[in-house]
């Protein structure tokens, strides 16, 4: 089977260039949309981690206060 050979005229090359440019434009728009969606989701994750960190900070303060109370009570009992 013979390979088909077509002539690439300036008009055909211009049309191809336009189609390729449109494809890249659509790809860039899709990528921007994807990035904004990912950023929104990551912001939600960051908020959850901030809330979790606040809870850990509170728990750490409570544990420290409990330990200091225990130590103080132990030494006061010895006096």
Greater model confidence, 1 or 35: 35
Quick one: CA torsion of 53, 55, 56, 58, rounded to 10 degrees? 120
Residue 8 forms part of a structural domain: no
Task: Give the model's pLDDT for residue 27.
Answer: 95
- Structural domain boundaries, residue 48: 25-79
Task: Give the model's pLDDT for residue 36.
Answer: 96
The string of pLDDT tens digits covering residues 50-63 is 999 999 999 999 99
Residue 41 forms part of a structural domain: yes
pTM for this predicted structure: 0.55
Residue 9's pLDDT band, with cuts at 50, 70 and 90, is: confident
Residue 9 forms part of a structural domain: no
**Domains in the chain: how many in total?**
1
Residue 3's pLDDT band, with cuts at 50, 70 and 90, is: low
Residue 5 forms part of a structural domain: no
The string of pLDDT tens digits covering residues 18-50 is 999 999 999 999 999 999 999 999 999 999 999
Residue 35 forms part of a structural domain: yes
């Amino acid at each position: 089977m013979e390979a088909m050979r077509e002539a690439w005229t300036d008009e055909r090359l211009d049309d191809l260039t336009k189609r390729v440019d449109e494809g890249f434009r659509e790809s860039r728009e899709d990528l921007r949309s994807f990035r904004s969606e990912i950023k929104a989701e990551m912001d939600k994750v960051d908020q959850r981690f901030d809330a979790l960190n606040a809870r850990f900070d509170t728990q750490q303060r409570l544990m420290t206060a409990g330990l200091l109370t225990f130590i103080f009570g132990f030494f006061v009992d010895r006096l």
